A and B are shown apart, each in its own frame.
Chain A
Amino acid sequence: MENKILLDRKIAIPKLLGDTNKLLIISGLAGPAKDIGFLTKESSNTFLFGGAMGGAVPTALGLALSRPQNKVVCVTGDGDLLMSLGSLATVGVVKPSNLIIICVDNSLYQETGGQKSHTGLGVDLAIIAQGCGFSVIKNIYNEKELIEGSVLVDQPINGPAFILLKVSEAKPPQYSRNWSASEAKVKFRKKILS
Protein backbone atom coordinates (compact mmCIF):
# COMPACT_ATOMS: atom_id res chain seq x y z
CA MET A 1 0.00 0.00 0.00
CA GLU A 2 1.17 3.51 -0.75
CA ASN A 3 2.14 5.55 2.26
CA LYS A 4 1.96 9.30 2.43
CA ILE A 5 5.64 9.50 3.36
CA LEU A 6 7.65 7.81 0.67
CA LEU A 7 11.17 6.48 1.11
CA ASP A 8 14.21 8.57 0.21
CA ARG A 9 16.28 6.78 -2.44
CA LYS A 10 19.58 7.94 -0.89
CA ILE A 11 18.76 5.95 2.25
CA ALA A 12 16.64 3.17 0.77
CA ILE A 13 18.94 1.93 -2.01
CA PRO A 14 22.02 1.32 0.19
CA LYS A 15 19.80 -0.48 2.74
CA LEU A 16 18.15 -2.60 0.08
CA LEU A 17 21.38 -3.70 -1.59
CA GLY A 18 23.50 -4.33 1.50
CA ASP A 19 27.01 -5.51 0.61
CA THR A 20 27.31 -4.57 -3.07
CA ASN A 21 30.60 -6.49 -3.40
CA LYS A 22 28.60 -9.71 -3.49
CA LEU A 23 26.64 -8.59 -6.55
CA LEU A 24 27.16 -7.83 -10.23
CA ILE A 25 25.25 -4.61 -10.87
CA ILE A 26 23.93 -3.14 -14.10
CA SER A 27 22.43 0.30 -13.61
CA GLY A 28 20.13 2.11 -16.01
CA LEU A 29 20.75 5.71 -16.96
CA ALA A 30 20.00 8.88 -14.99
CA GLY A 31 19.01 8.61 -11.30
CA PRO A 32 19.94 4.95 -10.68
CA ALA A 33 23.39 5.46 -12.25
CA LYS A 34 23.99 8.23 -9.71
CA ASP A 35 22.62 6.13 -6.84
CA ILE A 36 24.77 3.14 -7.73
CA GLY A 37 27.90 4.99 -8.86
CA PHE A 38 27.93 7.02 -5.65
CA LEU A 39 27.24 3.98 -3.48
CA THR A 40 29.84 1.68 -5.03
CA LYS A 41 32.33 4.40 -5.99
CA GLU A 42 31.98 2.85 -9.45
CA SER A 43 33.59 -0.37 -8.27
CA SER A 44 34.56 -2.79 -11.01
CA ASN A 45 31.53 -5.04 -10.40
CA THR A 46 29.21 -2.26 -11.59
CA PHE A 47 28.34 -1.07 -15.08
CA LEU A 48 26.45 2.21 -15.36
CA PHE A 49 24.43 3.35 -18.34
CA GLY A 50 24.55 6.97 -19.44
CA GLY A 51 22.42 6.60 -22.57
CA ALA A 52 20.76 3.83 -24.64
CA MET A 53 17.62 4.30 -22.54
CA GLY A 54 15.82 1.00 -22.04
CA GLY A 55 18.98 -1.07 -22.38
CA ALA A 56 19.70 -1.92 -18.75
CA VAL A 57 17.31 -4.88 -18.36
CA PRO A 58 18.43 -6.76 -21.50
CA THR A 59 22.08 -6.12 -20.60
CA ALA A 60 21.49 -7.54 -17.13
CA LEU A 61 19.74 -10.52 -18.73
CA GLY A 62 22.74 -11.23 -20.97
CA LEU A 63 25.04 -10.96 -17.97
CA ALA A 64 22.87 -13.17 -15.76
CA LEU A 65 22.78 -15.87 -18.43
CA SER A 66 26.52 -15.80 -18.95
CA ARG A 67 27.31 -15.74 -15.20
CA PRO A 68 24.90 -18.20 -13.55
CA GLN A 69 27.27 -18.47 -10.57
CA ASN A 70 26.75 -14.78 -9.68
CA LYS A 71 23.77 -12.82 -8.42
CA VAL A 72 23.03 -10.10 -10.95
CA VAL A 73 21.10 -7.00 -9.96
CA CYS A 74 19.66 -4.53 -12.45
CA VAL A 75 18.80 -1.16 -10.93
CA THR A 76 16.60 0.82 -13.28
CA GLY A 77 14.31 3.83 -13.14
CA ASP A 78 10.63 3.82 -14.02
CA GLY A 79 11.22 5.86 -17.18
CA ASP A 80 14.04 3.57 -18.31
CA LEU A 81 11.93 0.48 -17.72
CA LEU A 82 8.84 1.93 -19.41
CA MET A 83 10.93 2.34 -22.55
CA SER A 84 11.56 -1.40 -22.75
CA LEU A 85 8.56 -3.07 -21.14
CA GLY A 86 8.94 -5.93 -23.61
CA SER A 87 12.26 -6.83 -22.01
CA LEU A 88 10.35 -7.73 -18.81
CA ALA A 89 8.38 -10.24 -20.88
CA THR A 90 11.61 -11.65 -22.29
CA VAL A 91 13.10 -12.02 -18.80
CA GLY A 92 9.86 -13.66 -17.65
CA VAL A 93 10.13 -16.21 -20.45
CA VAL A 94 13.85 -16.95 -20.08
CA LYS A 95 13.58 -17.04 -16.25
CA PRO A 96 17.19 -16.55 -15.15
CA SER A 97 17.11 -17.64 -11.52
CA ASN A 98 20.03 -15.35 -10.57
CA LEU A 99 18.54 -12.03 -11.76
CA ILE A 100 16.93 -9.36 -9.59
CA ILE A 101 15.45 -6.28 -11.22
CA ILE A 102 14.99 -3.33 -8.90
CA CYS A 103 12.89 -0.51 -10.29
CA VAL A 104 13.54 2.73 -8.43
CA ASP A 105 10.18 4.31 -9.11
CA ASN A 106 9.86 8.02 -8.34
CA SER A 107 6.97 8.31 -10.81
CA LEU A 108 8.64 11.07 -12.75
CA TYR A 109 11.29 12.06 -15.27
CA GLN A 110 13.53 13.95 -12.90
CA GLU A 111 16.37 14.50 -15.38
CA THR A 112 14.14 16.36 -17.81
CA GLY A 113 12.28 18.63 -15.42
CA GLY A 114 10.11 16.40 -13.27
CA GLN A 115 7.35 15.48 -15.70
CA LYS A 116 5.08 12.69 -14.43
CA SER A 117 5.84 9.24 -15.82
CA HIS A 118 3.20 6.61 -16.58
CA THR A 119 3.74 5.14 -13.10
CA GLY A 120 2.64 8.47 -11.66
CA LEU A 121 -0.49 8.20 -13.76
CA GLY A 122 -1.63 4.76 -12.64
CA VAL A 123 0.65 2.21 -14.32
CA ASP A 124 1.87 -0.49 -11.90
CA LEU A 125 5.15 -2.05 -13.04
CA ALA A 126 5.06 -4.77 -10.37
CA ILE A 127 1.75 -6.08 -11.71
CA ILE A 128 3.22 -6.02 -15.22
CA ALA A 129 6.26 -7.99 -14.00
CA GLN A 130 3.93 -10.47 -12.32
CA GLY A 131 2.04 -10.89 -15.57
CA CYS A 132 5.34 -11.44 -17.36
CA GLY A 133 6.03 -14.49 -15.18
CA PHE A 134 8.59 -13.26 -12.65
CA SER A 135 8.98 -15.82 -9.85
CA VAL A 136 9.27 -13.26 -7.07
CA ILE A 137 7.53 -9.87 -6.83
CA LYS A 138 8.19 -7.46 -3.97
CA ASN A 139 6.61 -4.05 -3.50
CA ILE A 140 8.50 -1.68 -1.21
CA TYR A 141 6.59 1.38 -0.05
CA ASN A 142 7.76 1.67 3.57
CA GLU A 143 10.54 0.86 6.01
CA LYS A 144 9.17 -2.56 6.97
CA GLU A 145 8.96 -3.67 3.36
CA LEU A 146 12.43 -2.24 2.76
CA ILE A 147 13.88 -4.56 5.41
CA GLU A 148 12.02 -7.52 3.87
CA GLY A 149 13.42 -6.50 0.48
CA SER A 150 16.98 -6.36 1.80
CA VAL A 151 16.60 -9.92 3.11
CA LEU A 152 15.39 -10.96 -0.33
CA VAL A 153 18.43 -9.39 -2.03
CA ASP A 154 20.82 -10.94 0.50
CA GLN A 155 19.51 -14.51 0.41
CA PRO A 156 19.82 -17.06 -2.40
CA ILE A 157 17.01 -16.40 -4.84
CA ASN A 158 15.00 -18.53 -7.16
CA GLY A 159 14.25 -15.73 -9.55
CA PRO A 160 13.82 -13.83 -11.65
CA ALA A 161 12.78 -11.38 -8.95
CA PHE A 162 11.22 -7.97 -9.45
CA ILE A 163 11.40 -5.36 -6.72
CA LEU A 164 9.41 -2.16 -7.06
CA LEU A 165 11.03 0.42 -4.80
CA LYS A 166 8.66 3.34 -4.58
CA VAL A 167 10.59 6.48 -3.64
CA SER A 168 9.91 10.16 -3.06
CA GLU A 169 10.91 12.95 -5.41
CA ALA A 170 14.14 13.51 -3.45
CA LYS A 171 17.10 13.62 -5.82
CA PRO A 172 19.83 10.98 -6.05
CA PRO A 173 23.32 11.81 -4.74
CA GLN A 174 25.11 14.35 -6.91
CA TYR A 175 28.67 13.50 -7.90
CA SER A 176 30.92 13.61 -10.92
CA ARG A 177 30.81 10.25 -12.64
CA ASN A 178 32.98 8.54 -15.22
CA TRP A 179 30.98 8.49 -18.46
CA SER A 180 33.21 6.04 -20.34
CA ALA A 181 31.38 2.76 -20.94
CA SER A 182 34.42 1.23 -22.61
CA GLU A 183 36.55 1.80 -19.49
CA ALA A 184 33.83 0.37 -17.26
CA LYS A 185 33.51 -2.62 -19.59
CA VAL A 186 37.23 -3.40 -19.45
CA LYS A 187 37.33 -3.02 -15.65
CA PHE A 188 34.24 -5.19 -15.23
CA ARG A 189 35.58 -8.04 -17.36
CA LYS A 190 39.00 -7.90 -15.75
CA LYS A 191 37.38 -8.22 -12.33
CA ILE A 192 35.10 -11.15 -13.03
CA LEU A 193 36.91 -13.08 -15.76
CA SER A 194 40.48 -13.05 -14.47
Chain B
Amino acid sequence: MESNWQNGLYRTLREADISIFSYVPDAGHKILINHAIRDKDVIAISLSSEQEGIGIAAGSYLGGKKSVLLMQSSGVGNCINQLSLIKHGQFPFLTIVTMRGEYGEGNSWQFAMGEAVEPTLSSMGVKCLRVECQSEVIPSIKAAVTMAFKAERSVAILLSQKLLGAKPF
Protein backbone atom coordinates (compact mmCIF):
# COMPACT_ATOMS: atom_id res chain seq x y z
CA MET B 1 0.00 0.00 0.00
CA GLU B 2 2.75 2.42 1.02
CA SER B 3 4.62 2.13 -2.24
CA ASN B 4 1.59 3.08 -4.35
CA TRP B 5 1.76 6.78 -3.65
CA GLN B 6 5.51 6.75 -4.14
CA ASN B 7 5.14 5.09 -7.54
CA GLY B 8 2.53 7.70 -8.41
CA LEU B 9 4.82 10.44 -7.18
CA TYR B 10 7.62 9.23 -9.45
CA ARG B 11 5.27 9.00 -12.42
CA THR B 12 4.03 12.54 -11.80
CA LEU B 13 7.58 13.90 -11.72
CA ARG B 14 8.44 12.10 -14.96
CA GLU B 15 5.25 13.31 -16.64
CA ALA B 16 6.39 16.82 -15.76
CA ASP B 17 9.56 16.09 -17.78
CA ILE B 18 11.87 16.12 -14.78
CA SER B 19 14.87 14.10 -15.93
CA ILE B 20 17.63 14.86 -13.43
CA PHE B 21 17.20 13.50 -9.91
CA SER B 22 19.84 14.38 -7.33
CA TYR B 23 19.71 12.89 -3.86
CA VAL B 24 21.44 11.99 -0.66
CA PRO B 25 20.41 8.41 0.14
CA ASP B 26 17.43 8.38 2.48
CA ALA B 27 15.04 5.66 3.66
CA GLY B 28 11.96 7.81 2.99
CA HIS B 29 13.03 8.42 -0.61
CA LYS B 30 14.20 4.86 -1.26
CA ILE B 31 11.47 3.94 -3.76
CA LEU B 32 11.83 7.21 -5.67
CA ILE B 33 15.62 6.89 -5.78
CA ASN B 34 15.44 3.32 -7.04
CA HIS B 35 13.00 4.34 -9.78
CA ALA B 36 15.38 7.12 -10.86
CA ILE B 37 18.42 4.82 -10.91
CA ARG B 38 16.60 2.24 -13.05
CA ASP B 39 15.07 4.76 -15.47
CA LYS B 40 17.20 4.93 -18.65
CA ASP B 41 15.84 8.39 -19.48
CA VAL B 42 16.82 9.83 -16.12
CA ILE B 43 20.16 10.93 -14.72
CA ALA B 44 20.31 9.96 -11.04
CA ILE B 45 23.05 11.71 -9.09
CA SER B 46 24.12 10.59 -5.65
CA LEU B 47 25.44 13.65 -3.79
CA SER B 48 28.07 13.82 -1.08
CA SER B 49 26.12 16.72 0.48
CA GLU B 50 22.69 18.15 -0.26
CA GLN B 51 24.13 21.58 -1.08
CA GLU B 52 25.49 20.18 -4.36
CA GLY B 53 21.90 19.63 -5.46
CA ILE B 54 21.28 23.38 -5.53
CA GLY B 55 23.98 24.06 -8.13
CA ILE B 56 22.91 21.00 -10.10
CA ALA B 57 19.36 22.37 -10.23
CA ALA B 58 20.57 25.77 -11.44
CA GLY B 59 23.01 24.29 -13.96
CA SER B 60 20.37 21.91 -15.33
CA TYR B 61 18.01 24.82 -15.86
CA LEU B 62 20.73 26.83 -17.63
CA GLY B 63 21.07 23.86 -19.97
CA GLY B 64 17.32 23.49 -20.48
CA LYS B 65 16.47 20.52 -18.25
CA LYS B 66 14.29 20.14 -15.19
CA SER B 67 15.59 18.58 -12.01
CA VAL B 68 14.51 17.71 -8.50
CA LEU B 69 16.51 17.41 -5.26
CA LEU B 70 15.50 14.63 -2.87
CA MET B 71 16.68 15.01 0.69
CA GLN B 72 15.88 14.54 4.34
CA SER B 73 15.08 17.45 6.67
CA SER B 74 18.58 17.36 8.15
CA GLY B 75 19.97 18.09 4.69
CA VAL B 76 18.05 21.35 4.40
CA GLY B 77 20.53 22.95 6.77
CA ASN B 78 23.39 22.03 4.43
CA CYS B 79 21.75 23.98 1.60
CA ILE B 80 21.13 27.38 3.07
CA ASN B 81 23.91 29.52 1.60
CA GLN B 82 23.70 27.74 -1.76
CA LEU B 83 20.06 28.81 -1.95
CA SER B 84 21.45 32.33 -2.52
CA LEU B 85 22.02 31.17 -6.08
CA ILE B 86 18.34 30.23 -6.45
CA LYS B 87 16.94 33.29 -4.70
CA HIS B 88 19.23 35.93 -6.17
CA GLY B 89 19.24 34.34 -9.63
CA GLN B 90 15.47 33.66 -9.58
CA PHE B 91 16.00 30.07 -10.67
CA PRO B 92 13.13 27.57 -10.60
CA PHE B 93 13.82 25.00 -7.89
CA LEU B 94 11.99 21.91 -6.71
CA THR B 95 12.94 19.80 -3.72
CA ILE B 96 11.13 16.99 -1.93
CA VAL B 97 12.04 16.76 1.75
CA THR B 98 11.31 13.76 3.95
CA MET B 99 10.73 15.10 7.45
CA ARG B 100 12.36 13.91 10.66
CA GLY B 101 12.14 15.34 14.13
CA GLU B 102 8.38 15.48 14.37
CA TYR B 103 5.44 13.00 14.67
CA GLY B 104 6.71 9.90 16.50
CA GLU B 105 10.44 10.70 16.25
CA GLY B 106 12.61 8.64 18.60
CA ASN B 107 16.01 10.20 17.81
CA SER B 108 16.33 13.40 19.79
CA TRP B 109 19.11 14.70 17.47
CA GLN B 110 16.57 15.07 14.64
CA PHE B 111 14.34 17.68 16.29
CA ALA B 112 16.64 20.71 15.98
CA MET B 113 16.88 20.68 12.19
CA GLY B 114 13.42 19.19 11.67
CA GLU B 115 11.86 22.13 13.48
CA ALA B 116 14.08 24.58 11.56
CA VAL B 117 13.14 23.36 8.07
CA GLU B 118 10.18 25.62 7.39
CA PRO B 119 11.63 28.83 8.88
CA THR B 120 14.99 28.41 7.16
CA LEU B 121 13.56 27.49 3.76
CA SER B 122 11.00 30.30 3.99
CA SER B 123 13.72 32.79 4.91
CA MET B 124 15.59 31.82 1.72
CA GLY B 125 12.49 32.34 -0.39
CA VAL B 126 11.52 28.68 -0.78
CA LYS B 127 7.77 28.11 -0.55
CA CYS B 128 6.94 25.06 1.62
CA LEU B 129 4.01 22.76 0.83
CA ARG B 130 3.43 20.28 3.63
CA VAL B 131 1.91 16.87 2.91
CA GLU B 132 0.24 15.01 5.78
CA CYS B 133 -1.65 12.18 4.06
CA GLN B 134 -1.42 9.99 0.97
CA SER B 135 -4.34 11.59 -0.86
CA GLU B 136 -2.50 14.94 -0.81
CA VAL B 137 0.74 13.66 -2.35
CA ILE B 138 -0.04 13.81 -6.07
CA PRO B 139 -2.06 17.06 -6.02
CA SER B 140 0.70 18.72 -3.98
CA ILE B 141 3.43 17.57 -6.35
CA LYS B 142 1.45 18.77 -9.35
CA ALA B 143 0.98 22.14 -7.64
CA ALA B 144 4.68 22.35 -6.81
CA VAL B 145 5.78 21.44 -10.35
CA THR B 146 3.55 24.18 -11.77
CA MET B 147 4.86 26.75 -9.29
CA ALA B 148 8.47 25.75 -9.89
CA PHE B 149 8.63 25.32 -13.63
CA LYS B 150 5.77 27.51 -14.93
CA ALA B 151 5.98 30.37 -12.45
CA GLU B 152 9.73 29.84 -11.90
CA ARG B 153 9.51 29.85 -8.11
CA SER B 154 11.42 27.76 -5.62
CA VAL B 155 9.27 25.18 -3.88
CA ALA B 156 9.77 22.46 -1.27
CA ILE B 157 7.37 19.60 -0.75
CA LEU B 158 7.66 18.47 2.88
CA LEU B 159 6.60 14.86 3.29
CA SER B 160 5.63 14.70 6.96
CA GLN B 161 6.68 11.97 9.31
CA LYS B 162 3.00 11.21 9.85
CA LEU B 163 2.77 10.29 6.16
CA LEU B 164 6.06 8.38 6.05
CA GLY B 165 5.88 6.65 9.42
CA ALA B 166 8.52 7.21 12.07
CA LYS B 167 11.73 5.17 11.99
CA PRO B 168 11.68 2.70 14.87
CA PHE B 169 14.28 3.11 17.65
The chain A residues found within 8 Å of chain B, CB to CB, are: 24, 26, 47, 49, 51-67, 84, 86-87, 89-90, 93-94, 181-182, 184-185, 188-189, 192-193
Chain A residues contacting B89 (CB-CB under 8 Å) are 181-182, 184-185
B82 CB contact (under 8 Å) in A52, A90, A184:
A52
Complex Cα distance A57/B47, Å? Answer: 12
Asked if B81 lies at the interface with its beta carbon under 8 angstroms from chain A, I say yes
Chain B residues contacting A59 (CB-CB under 8 Å) are 55-56, 58-59, 62, 85
Question: 8 smallest A-B Cβ distances: which pairs?
Answer: A62-B59, A58-B55, A66-B63, A86-B48, A181-B89, A59-B55, A66-B65, A62-B56
Given A62-B56, A65-B45, A181-B88; 11 other pairs, CB 8 A cutoff:
A26-B59, A49-B85, A51-B84, A56-B55, A58-B52, A59-B55, A61-B59, A65-B59, A93-B46, A181-B85, A182-B88
Contact B52 A86 (CB under 8 A): yes
| Residue ID in chain B nearest A67 by CB atoms | B63
The interface on chain B, measured as residues whose beta carbon lies within 8 A of the other chain's beta carbons, has a size of 31
Contact A90 B45 (CB under 8 A): yes
Complex Cα distance A61/B43, Å? Answer: 12
A-B pair number, CB within 8 angstroms: 124
Chain B residues contacting A62 (CB-CB under 8 Å) are 20, 55-63, 65, 67
Chain A residues contacting B91 (CB-CB under 8 Å) are 185
The chain B residues found within 8 Å of chain A, CB to CB, are: 20, 43, 45-49, 51-65, 67, 81-82, 84-85, 88-91
Contact B52 A189 (CB under 8 A): no
Complex Cα distance A24/B64, Å? Answer: 13
Complex Cα distance A62/B54, Å? Answer: 9
Chain B residues contacting A87 (CB-CB under 8 Å) are 48, 52, 55
Complex Cα distance A19/B89, Å? Answer: 27
The residue in B46, B63, B67, B85 that gathers the most chain A C-beta atoms within 10 A of its C-beta is B63
Contact A66 B64 (CB under 8 A): yes
Distance (Å) between the CB of B95 and the closest chain A CB? 14
| Residue ID in chain A nearest B46 by CB atoms | A93
The residue in B55, B65, B89 that gathers the most chain A C-beta atoms within 10 A of its C-beta is B55
